[in-house]
Structure 1
């Protein structure tokens, strides 16, 4: 009796995904390239398969591509530091995740401008999967920056005053809203512009108590008393007068330098009021293992405010990954609306 032994070949099905990659630092619209790659059908041991849903274009992303941001991924790298996705599969040995979970990058440099990715479980962080798409996409950077600066440097009580420059920035808008929620008074300083009255009205609708121009700040026309915390993201002369308005034992937190000028501080208040100057970088806070439980608590509180309508997410221009060139150009040149890749 003849027998036949067939040779059976088991083929694996690969997943095709689109992503935005840069192989060298440079001008983002030119450095970023669109590519299609394949992923294994199953994540490796200790890895999680994430379907990325939405990711913004932030200034830090652009600086990273240009090569001037402190976080420098090994090249070639997928762009994007912020965004959220949904867990599709989990590899062997993975704990703390389940299919359907929504996740954020655990820290900067993961690369979120992609449709799918297989990531180590310690590179991801679970969030509430009932939050709106836009809020989830930007939950990692601006709201937490505002939250931590209001929580970590001064023991603020209801009625205390927070003074900030760059009052129209994304972080500043969250500062205004969180101050309103927690009962703090907020004073915001903005650049003079043609539509100043409209901007003042807009910021006050978010909860700002007072809005002044940089010129009014520098000419000391701000008469507000009891300023315990100043938030500086401009530097230069603006930081000088911001610090000058602090009361005794006040703190100025610097988290940006849009003027590209050194932080300045008046000598008198530094000596006689014992004011303090500190720096803050949200990415470093995320890198500290002791902050994991506090991170869960922070996201839970921010999520509660978002779902209650107390914390509003800014307007976005939603873009396809294939429109990356124009999206990046707009991200560099348009500041009234953030660009958001939706995959």
Structure 2
């Protein structure tokens, strides 16, 4: 997919602050929507179901949020920890995101409680490393874990070196997940 970068000046206080904005051509945008719609179709979710995704602030993540809202699906979107997260979270909620959390939030008991209450039955993984682990951990036993465009590392990423490495296959098998890789 070809993307165009534009650079805009941000804010009146500091004209030296610049932000890069990616924009897609009309055909790329239509293709992305079609691909994401196919992803959501493959999950066979009913209205009211919850899905969790990482990279929620990417173009794919934003498209997932928009299409999930149209299909009356609830979304939990995980975004990378970085400056400007409050603005990003508000922008994603304005697109229709139900719950948007930074990666650091996924390491807390609040996330455990949230996923226990909402019971996400599908997870979309567009990343590797800890965010992939966070999506997988959030899923209910027997859920669907779909990885798109990435290869999972050999071991599950956990914080702290005291744990014995757990292989992804064993982790997925333990949770009885249906895993797909596209």
Q: Closer, same or farther in 2 for the Cα pair 1:255/1:214, shift >3 Å?
A: same
Q: 2:34 aligns with which of 129, 135, 144?
A: 144
Retained in 1: the 8 A contact 2:2–2:28? yes
Q: Closer, same or farther in 2 for the Cα pair 1:220/1:267, shift >3 Å?
A: farther
Retained in 2: the 8 A contact 1:166–1:234? yes
Q: How large is the RMSD of aligned CA atoms in angstroms?
A: 2.4
Q: 1:210 aligns with which of 90, 95, 99?
A: 99
- Which residue of structure 2 aligns with residue 165 of structure 1? 54
Q: 1:275 aligns with which of 167, 177, 181?
A: 177
Task: Note the C-alpha offset of 1:270.
Answer: 2.8
SS in 1 for 2:34: helix
Q: 2:137 aligns with which of 217, 231, 244?
A: 244
Relative to the length of structure 1, the TM-score reads: 0.39
Task: Note the C-alpha offset of 1:236.
Answer: 1.8
More helix by share: 2
Q: How many residues align?
A: 147
SS in 1 for 2:75: strand
- Which residue of structure 1 aligns with residue 90 of structure 2? 201
Matches within 5 A, 1:1-343: 56-57=2-3, 134-140=25-31, 142-152=32-42, 154-222=43-111, 223-224=114-115, 225-257=118-150, 262=153, 264=156, 265=168, 267=170, 270-271=173-174, 273-280=175-182
Relative to the length of structure 2, the TM-score reads: 0.71
What are structure 1's unaligned runs of at least 5 residues?
1-54, 59-132, 281-343
Q: Closer, same or farther in 2 for the Cα pair 1:169/1:248, shift >3 Å?
A: same
Any idea what the Cα deviations from partners look like across 1:173-232, whole Å, max 9, x if unmatched? Answer: 010000000000011000112211110110000000000111111335321322011111
SS in 2 for 1:211: strand
What are structure 2's unaligned runs of at least 5 residues?
5-23, 157-167
Any idea what the Cα deviations from partners look like across 1:283-325, whole Å, max 9, x if unmatched? Answer: xxxxxxxxxxxxxxxxxxxxxxxxxxxxxxxxxxxxxxxxxxx
1:261 and 1:246 map into 2 onto residues whose CA distance is 17
